[in-house]
Amino acid sequence: MNLIFLGPPGAGKGTHATRLSQELGIPQISTGDMLRRAIREGTQLGLRAKGYMDAGELVPDEVVLQMVRERLQAPDCQGGYIFDGFPRTLAQAEALAAFTRIDAVLNLEVDDELILHRLTGRRVCPECSGTFHIDYLSDPQVCPTCGGRLAQRADDARDTILNRLSVYRRQTEPLIAFYRQKGLLRSVSGAGKVDDNYLAVKAALGVP
């Protein structure tokens, strides 16, 4: 199955995509994670992307498209994949349609107030890539999975979150109509508890 997870930042795309990818045995392709890795490794791509990401702006389409095209060549993509955070513009969606077939697009719906709460309290583990919320951590600095030192993403600062939200509304939200028109869209609330939302995600995608 070739899937796209769509939704504003903080909707839970990454959380549900990680879980479903493990359950289905297909890779999760998170362009945000790939770009952050490139920045950590100091590659040319990372250098190009950093300024945009720190400001909460989108990285140029051709940079992201090239990265995705290369990723899809890997053998683990043969049996399907889950795009998490890609495509994010109409140009990306149209380019993608020219080189792959998408089976369904899951759209996670969450209002702005909840997004702000989730993202300002989000902490990530640089060691194991786990993502947590301070509301559920006994120690907000220590990863409960591997003991690593938790950090806040540079783009999870309040002003940057507000900009990412406005970028989402302007540049990514039009994809909802684009995929609805193609008959691929499945919308699910991302506002409830993680486990309940995940069951709704699976039901919407027809995954038993």
Q: Which residues bind ligand AMP (CB under 6 A)?
A: 9, 31-32, 35, 52-53, 56-59, 64, 85-88, 92, 155, 164
Which residue intervals of the chain are DSSP H helices?
13-24, 31-41, 44-55, 61-72, 90-99, 112-120, 158-167, 174-181, 194-205
Specify whether 118 is catalytic. no
Q: How far is the CB of 141 from ligand AMP (least distance, A)?
A: 22
Shorter beta-carbon distance to ligand AMP: residue 64 or 108: 64
Nearer to ligand AMP, 13 or 202 (CB): 13
Going by their DSSP bridges, the two strands 122-124 and 104-109 should be labelled as unpaired
Peptide bond into 87 cis (omega under 30): yes
DSSP string for 1-16? -EEEEE-STTSSHHHH
Dihedrals phi, psi of 116, to nearest 5 degrees = -60, -45
Q: Which of 88, 118, 186, 202 is catalytic?
A: 88
Of 130, 99, 108, nearest to 18 by C-alpha is: 130
Residue whose beta carbon is closest to ligand AMP: 32
Of 118, 123, 164, 186, the active-site residue reads 164
Residue 151 or 206 having the CB closest to ligand AMP? 151
C-beta of 46 vs 192, nearer to ligand AMP? 46
Residue 48: active-site member = no
Catalytic choice (36, 153, 186, 202) = 153
Hey, what are 43's tokens?
Answer: 């590659």
Whether 13 is a known active-site residue: answer yes
122 is catalytic: yes
> Could you list the active site residues?
13, 88, 122, 153, 164
